Amino acid sequence: MTWQKHLPFKMCFIVWRALRDKIPTDARISQMNIANPSRCICCKNPDTENVNHLFNAGDYAFQLWKHIGGPFGINVEQSFYRQILINWWKIKAPNPVINILVKCIPIATSWEIWRTRCAAKYGNEPINFNNSVCLISFSVLQVIKNQFNNFQGNHSWNKVIYLNSCNINFKKTFTVSWLKPPVNFVKLNSDGSCKEGRCGGGGVIRNHQGHLVHAYTVKAGAGTNNLAEALALLHGIRWCIAVEHK
Ligand SMILES: [Zn+2]
């Protein structure tokens, strides 16, 4: 789950490192006997910065997860960062778009927490909650845009909420093409339908070069769609037998 191939490597890598406590948080640096007074940048009342604090329990991470996870029904009252990720990844997505959202959002959010922390700590950039939400939205919607050609609209958080709430009906599509029959054979394609009790159908017969050999329509009185389709097919087969076409 950590590695989502459609997201930038750096985002997945930060989650992988955080889960293994391989991130240079203040607490981690102190463990290496390097003098490092730990004062997190994420809270009103600064605390020791370790992975769980930075990515979960600190003011900033907590508010961010709460905002981002709310529309997805994620419980953020968790004591561990790992548990938040698990909660996201165990969501049963009803369609492929939501599947991408619930897989990618926790990774993009983790990255944004780390990016914000570093920008604030080393670049003196003010922490901007709305900016973080925008950047997370952009990252995950970019994945969806790359995956689904018909994606339209902006890359806002409202768009994420919209995609999560609307019941998109996905149908798997595959291209069907007409293939020529072998030499000395013809191919019959027929169809029929029934509307308001009146049935009709038709068909075309083409040779191995794809050229039209015969076309026909059939009329049948009252019936069903199945009857109309069967009659159209039967008419075509009878014609083929009559003129000794295979
Ligand atoms: Zn903090």
**Superfamily (CATH) of domain 187-242:** Ribonuclease H-like superfamily/Ribonuclease H (3.30.420.10)
Alpha-carbon distances, residue 213 vs 125, 177, 203, 206 (angstroms)? 75, 19, 11, 5
Buried b (16+ CB within 10 A) or exposed e, 163-172: bbeeeeeeee
Query: Could you state, in order of their start, the residue ranges of all structural domains in the chain?
Result: 9-165, 187-242
For the chain, the farthest-separated pair of C-alpha atoms sits apart, in whole angstroms, at 97
* Separation between Cα atoms, residue 16 and residue 48, nearest integer Å: 21
Q: How far is the CA of 137 from the centre of ligand 1 (A)?
A: 23
Å from CA of 55 to ligand 1 middle: 9
Q: What is the pTM of this model?
A: 0.65
| Ligand 1 center–CA 13 separation, angstroms | 22
What is the structure's pLDDT at 174? 61
Q: What are the DSSP calls for 139-183, one per residue? A: HHHHHHHHH-TT--S---HHHHHHHHHS-------------PPPT
Residue 40 Cα to ligand 1 midpoint, Å, equals 5
What pLDDT does residue 177 have? Answer: 82
Q: What is the pLDDT of residues 152-195, one digit of tens each?
A: 778 889 888 888 887 665 555 566 788 899 998 999 999 999 88
Residue 35's SS3 state is coil
State the distance from the centre of ligand 1 to the C-alpha of 205, rounded, in angstroms. Answer: 75
Measured distance CA(197)–CA(176) in Å, rounded: 31
Interval between CA 39 and ligand 1 midpoint (Å): 8
